[in-house]
A = this chain, B = another copy of it.
Amino acid sequence: MTQSTAPAHEASQEALPRQHRHYSIGELARMFEVTPRTIRFYEQEGLLAPRREGQKRIYREKDRVRLKLTLRGKRLGFSLAEIREVVMMYDAMPDGNARQLWRLLEILADKRANLERQLEDIRLMRMELDDVDHRAREVLRGLGHEA
């Protein structure tokens, strides 16, 4: 997250209906601007579970969404373990027992608290960036008069 050129965010083109239904690893990788290695790694970490057609991995819509959520979580500073925690429990929900569901609610509340704190952090950090920006511009004005 270091590059200053950040126009290409998520998937670029989206005119076509999602009828495609399945993607290759390379397609997904290009879509989200990650390497295939990353996608395989996420699978190994239990975040994705694509079908196989022979050797090849076949990703369906669900996998694409998961990957999207995973990357979003990462941008927010969550670890893969944390993300998996939510994702897996979400999957186990339908037949989940009460204890697990309560545990899930607990985790969700935790994540939400995290987000709220981040909102405040962003607010503060914004103010500080604005401040530095201001000072820098003033110094620049000063330099303009000299030279």
Are B135 and A76 in contact (CB-based, < 8 A)? Answer: no
A133 touches B121 (CB 8 A): no
Interfacial chain B residues near A140, Cβ < 8 Å:
98, 101-102
| Bound CA span A140–B108, Å | 15
Given contacts A121-B75, A121-B76, contact A96 B133 (CB under 8 A): no
Q: Which of A93-134 contact B (CB under 8 A)?
A: 93-94, 96-98, 101-102, 104-115, 117-119, 121-122, 124-126, 128-129, 132-133
Q: Is the interface of A mostly helix, strand, loop or mixed?
A: helix
Point out the residue from B93, B105, B112, B117 that lies within 8 Å of A126, measured CB to CB. B112
Partner of A139, one of B94, B110, B135: B94
Option from B4, B97, B112, B118 in Cβ contact (under 8 Å) with A76: B118
- For the complex, what is the distance from the CA of A9 to the CA of B121, rounded to whole Å? 11
Q: Which chain A residues (18-32) contact chain B, with CB distance < 8 Å?
A: none
Instruction: Answer yes or no: A143 CB below 8 A from chain B CBs.
Output: yes
Counting contact residues on chain A (CB < 8 A from B), the size range is: 35 or more
A139 contacts B76, CB within 8 Å?
A: no
C-alpha gap A117/B93 in the complex (Å): 30
Contact A75–B139 (Cβ < 8 Å): no
Residues of B within 8 A of A9 (CB): 117
Contact of A117 among B6, B114, B129, B136 (CB under 8 A): B6
